[in-house]
Structure formats: structure tokens, C-alpha cells
Structure 1
Amino acid sequence: MYSGWMSTSERLIESTRELLWERGYVGTSPKAILERSGAGQGSMYHHFDGKQDLALAAIRRTAEELRATAEGVLGGPGTPYERIEAYLRRERDVLRGCPIGRLTMDPDIVASDDLRAPVDETLDWIRERIAGIVEEGKEQGRFAASLDGEEIAATVIATVQGSYVLARASGSPAAFDTAVRGLLSLLAPQSS
């Protein structure tokens, strides 16, 4: 499944990332990780202290990737509104859900301070980044002065995560798109 240039530890991390997204922590057995990665039986314990250590490496990698993707659009060109719009409209596998947001539904992840930390840190980072963009837009006169950056950022995160749920429930990305359009219409700069 993985190319020959990828090290065994990388194959283990990538396999675990995929399995956590698909099955959650409990459903991600060491056997499934080894089968997907094509690694030998002792490989996981050679490279990692166990399933939790490997899962933590996988979650951290997913969190880093999600932050980099978000920064790519939030730190890109355009007005504050256009950058938030780009974040909301960026290409996603909507019916698969968010690889970080889905972990918040996993009781084993939430119960572990270590496993939960990169999830919480990533959502906080995105929220803070969006709040800063809203404040930037207010300073430029592009957003109403009455908007609270923290509240808008929380609303953006809630819209994205909730829209994944709506899309998965309906089996259609249309629900995600509808929610994004609704939020953008509320944020759209008012013409004078």
C-alpha cells in the first residue's frame, strides 16, 4: 500500500492516521495497523512504546497537517472576509468528516489528556487564527466593529464541525455547503 521509500515508522504512523479517522481509537487494533502498514509483527513495539504512543504520533501528524492546510488559506492573499471564505470553501472530503473533529467523539481519546491535547491545541489554534483575522477586518473597517473575533471564530469552527455531521447524516455534501453559504452571508461585508 505504501511506497518502498517510506520507512517502517512512517508507514505505521500513516496507517494509524487513516485507521483512527475511519474507525476511532478502539477500532484501531495493532493487528489492523500492521496489516495496513505492511510492517512486521514486532515493528510497532520496536518504533513505539505501544498503541497509545503510536496513536499520539499519528494524531500529532494529523494536527500538524490540518494546521498547515488551514494556514495555507487563512494566511493567503485577500481581504479578511476572503480568507475566511477560502477556509470555509477549501476542498474537503466532507462525507468522511474532519480527521481531528472526529477524534472528539472518541471516548478513549477524550479520556486521555495526552491523546486529547493535540486535538484541543489544533482547534484552539484555528480559533485564535480566525479571531485574529476578524479583528484585522474590524481594524480595516471591513467587518462591523460590534463583531467579537472570538465569538465569530467559535461560530466558524462550530459551523465547519457541525456541517460535517449534517453532511454525513444526509449522505450528501450539500448540507455542508448550505451551512457555509449561510455563515458567509452573515459575515459578508455590508455595502454602504
Structure 2
Amino acid sequence: MIVVMDTRERLIESTRELLWERGYVGTSPKAIQQRSGAGQGSMYHHFDGKPALALAAIGRSAGALKAAAEVEFARPGTVVERVTGYLRRERDAVKGCPVGRLTQDPDVMADPRLRRPVQDVFAWLTDRLAGLLAEGRANGELDIGLDPAATAAALVAVVQGGYVLARSAGSPGIYAQAIDGALGLLAGHVRYPPHPDPGAQHPDDPHQ
């Protein structure tokens, strides 16, 4: 099925792509018009100018990041399975995170309006992960020594840092390696399930 976007949607999607590829300065009104196929009159009919269009595009990218993460967080399964699904979901690691890359753009970070959706979505992501980890600690899946807030911040940092490493190396392999390392550290906090025989002990169970 072919989906035909109206002019406003083409402008937003084109700006999203250009911000991801070129940053704010490189995303000129002319480049947006060329990418979207919209004329100057159409662009300024829908948006007051480049900052307003960029704000809509950044908000769209932040919303897409949140929606994709929530798909994994809301799946059935254990906390660790859901966190693993989020960390391992398919990404273009070499291209980088469309929202995370904006944190390196001084023009975006200097404008409170443009910075806000970036800040808000990463705060949401960290809080959502912390809530899941706290749930796992409360239900006995994760050991009591795990700090949900600190671990959530570390996982978000691994994902964003993994993008940086993948881009610098020109290969997604190092991103996958970073995720493997993070999950290995998380696995160290996973408690063994209850044994059928309450008196039995797993030889490597630190909680016995």
C-alpha cells in the first residue's frame, strides 16, 4: 500500500531526516524544500520558520523513540527479557540515534525549546527503565543490591555510547558488543528461581 503524505507531513519527515544526517545548521530551508518537494510558500504556510519546523521534527523523533521503546517494555515476559528486548531491538547503529545525535548539536542545545523534547524523552526512558528494574527487584527477579535508577542511567548511556562507538568504527559490531557487556553486568543481579526442594542449594547460587 502506498501512503501519500500531505505537505505538512512531508516537511516534518524531511526535516527529521536532514537533522539526523546534517544537524541543525546543515538543515537549511532550501534543503528542506528540496527534500520534501514543497515550495517556500507551502513551508511558511504550515510553519513560521525553520525553528518551528525543527521543533516539530525533533518532537516527532522523540515520540518515535519513546513508542519503539514502549513496544519492548510492554511485552509479556520477565523484566530482564523486556529490557533485553529493548537493548537488542533492531537499530541502524552506524547511522546513530536521531535524538541522541542532537545532544551534540550546539544550536539545538542552546535553544531551550529545541532542547526540551530531547531532554524529556531521555528522562522518560531512564525513568521507565528504572521502574522496570525496581519491579524486578520487588518481585525477587533481581537482587536487592541493584540500584534501579543508577542501572537505568547506565543502560541508557550504553545505548547512546554504543552508537558513538559504532559510528567511529563504521561498524555495528562494537554496538552489539557494548550491549552484550551491559546485559552481562545485569545478569549478575539476576536471582536464581526457587528450587523445588527448599533445602536444595544451587552450587553457584550466592543467595543461598
Number of aligned residues: 190
Q: 2:199 maps to which residue?
A: none
1:160 Cα deviation after fit: 0.2
Map 1:131-146 to 2 at 5 A.
131-146=130-145
Worse-superposed segment, 118-127 or 138-147 = 138-147
Q: 1:75 maps to which residue?
A: 74
Instruction: Return 5+ residue gaps in structure 2 as ranges.
Output: 193-204
1:5 Cα deviation after fit: 2.5
Q: Secondary structure at the match of 2:25?
A: coil
Q: 2:28 maps to which residue?
A: 29
Counterpart amino acid of 1:109? V
- Does structure 1 residue 10 correspond to structure 2 residue 20? no
1:74 Cα deviation after fit: 1.1
CA distance 1:4–1:162, change in 2 (3 Å): closer
Q: Could you tell me the TM-score, scaled by structure 1's length?
A: 0.96
Q: Secondary structure at the match of 1:96?
A: coil
Counterpart amino acid of 2:6? S
Asked if the contact 2:140/2:191 (under 8 Å) is kept, the reply is no
Q: 1:104 maps to which residue?
A: 103
Counterpart amino acid of 2:24? Y
Q: 1:87 maps to which residue?
A: 86
1:33 Cα deviation after fit: 0.1
1:4 Cα deviation after fit: 7.3
CA RMSD of aligned residues (A): 1.0
Return the index of the structure with the highest Cα Rg.
Answer: 2
- What is the CA–CA distance in structure 2 between the aligned matches of 1:177 and 1:101, rounded to whole Å? 17
Asked if the contact 2:96/2:167 (under 8 Å) is kept, the reply is yes
Q: 1:54 maps to which residue?
A: 53
Counterpart amino acid of 1:58? A
Counterpart amino acid of 1:112? D
- What is the CA–CA distance in structure 1 between the aligned matches of 2:139 and 2:184, rounded to whole Å? 19
Counterpart amino acid of 1:60? G
Deviation above 3 Å: which 4+ runs of structure 1? none
Q: 1:165 maps to which residue?
A: 164
Counterpart amino acid of 2:58? I
Asked if the contact 2:15/2:53 (under 8 Å) is kept, the reply is yes
Q: 1:187 maps to which residue?
A: 186
- What is the CA–CA distance in structure 1 between the aligned matches of 2:94 and 2:81, rounded to whole Å? 24
- What is the CA–CA distance in structure 2 between the aligned matches of 1:160 and 1:68, rounded to whole Å? 16
CA distance 1:4–1:152, change in 2 (3 Å): closer
1:140-161 per-position Cα deviation (integer Å, ceiling 9, x unaligned): 1111111111101100000000
Q: Between the two proteins, what is the percent identity of the paired residues?
A: 58
Q: 2:19 maps to which residue?
A: 20
- What is the CA–CA distance in structure 1 between the aligned matches of 2:130 and 2:40, rounded to whole Å? 46
